[in-house]
Amino acid sequence: MIVTLLKRLYIVLLLVAFQVLVLNHMQLFGYGTPLIYVVLLLYMPMGSMKAGVLLWGFCTGLLVDIFTNTPGVASGAMTFAALIQQPLLKVMAPRDAAEDITPNMANMGKWNYVRYMMIIYLIHHLVYFTLECFSLYHIADAALLMVASWVSSMLLALLLESFRKKK
């Protein structure tokens, strides 16, 4: 259990550092910034305690908020996505899967995993950009920003999954 905790903490620190130091300085066509730290929620096993998933999501978002000066935006979006993660995983996982299945393409199948990933990222991005914009005045710009970020985040997460699968 301690090894799992330390491994997950290492992954959080690595994802947040990569987000803050590299990805926040990249934009897709001047709009979308990939948000990679959400993959932490994707990799949480199905049997995880809901409070643990919420705590990991909130703490990861809080770290991103601290280093990117976005008070409450990332932590709110990660907490909401963490709230949805376990019920969504139960729906998306194969019926004959073990209770502690770790989500990946091999365990869930390509299509189920991609749908699971798309929904988690969509929920996160909807909440994130709604909190960031906090107005309907520039809704078209916010929608374009959200879609561009969602697409770039999905592509990066799929690339990361392809490397993860080869281990």
Number of domains in the chain: 1
Query: What is the residue-averaged pLDDT of the chain?
Result: 89
Per DSSP, what are the bridge partners of residue 32? 28
* Residue-range definition of the domain harbouring residue 11: 2-165
Per-residue model confidence (pLDDT) at position 167: 47
State the Cα–Cα distance between residues 157 and 78, nearest whole angstrom: 16
State the Cα–Cα distance between residues 11 and 29, nearest whole angstrom: 29
Q: At 32, give phi and psi (nearest 5°).
A: -85, 130
Q: Are 61 and 40 in contact (CB under 8 A)?
A: no
Q: What is the mean pLDDT of residues 131-136?
A: 80
State the Cα–Cα distance between residues 18 and 24, nearest whole angstrom: 9
157: which 2 tokens?
């997460």
Q: b or e along 113-126 (b: 16 or more beta carbons within 10 Å of the residue's beta carbon)?
A: bbebbebbbbbbbe
Helices 110-133 and 73-92 cross at an angle (nearest 10°) of 160
Q: Are 99 and 85 in contact (CB under 8 A)?
A: no
Distance of CA 72 to the CA centre of its chain: 16
Q: Which residue has the higher pLDDT, 94 or 67?
A: 67
Q: Are 79 and 114 in contact (CB under 8 A)?
A: no
Choose the weakest-confidence range: 36-40, 43-47, 131-135, 142-146. Answer: 131-135
In three-state secondary structure terms, 96 is: coil
